[in-house]
């Protein structure tokens, strides 16, 4: 009888550990701050697109840098498993 109880407790502990591991993996995968940053970068790009063009090339450079930042955010989210 004691062996059966020990086996049941071990199985229960295994289920709890696996559930905790899954939950931790999900928490690491979801990146709300990265998603928020992505939205902000997209908004910034949109504003730069409609800005007047007489900025000596700086507006275009800013758009390129924002595009690079968007790419890096996507790469970070992919790495974390959030896309």
Which pTM value belongs to this model? 0.65
Q: What is the pLDDT of residues 4-63, one digit of tens each?
A: 555 555 556 555 555 555 544 554 578 999 999 999 999 999 999 999 999 999 999 999
Do 16 and 39 belong to one domain? no
Whether 66 shows a pLDDT value over 60: the answer reads yes
45 with 17, same domain?
no
Structural domain boundaries enclosing 39: 31-83
Evaluate if residue 2 carries a pLDDT over 60: yes
15 and 55 together in one domain: no
Shared domain check, 23 and 62: no
Structurally, the chain folds into a number of domains equal to: 2
Q: How far is Cα 83 from Cα 68, in angstroms, rounded to an integer?
A: 18
Residue 30: its pLDDT value, please? 85
Query: 33: which 2 tokens?
Result: 């701050």
Residue 52 is given by DSSP the state: -
- Phi, psi (rounded to 5 degrees) for 56: 65, 30
């Amino acid at each position: 009888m004691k062996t059966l109880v020990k086996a049941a407790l071990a199985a229960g502990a295994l289920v709890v550990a696996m559930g905790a591991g899954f939950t931790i993996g999900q928490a690491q995968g979801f990146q709300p701050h990265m998603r928020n940053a992505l939205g902000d970068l997209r908004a910034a790009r949109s504003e730069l697109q409609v800005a007047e063009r007489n900025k000596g090339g700086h507006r275009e450079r800013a758009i390129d840098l924002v595009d690079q930042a968007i790419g890096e955010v996507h790469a970070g989210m992919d790495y974390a498993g959030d896309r």
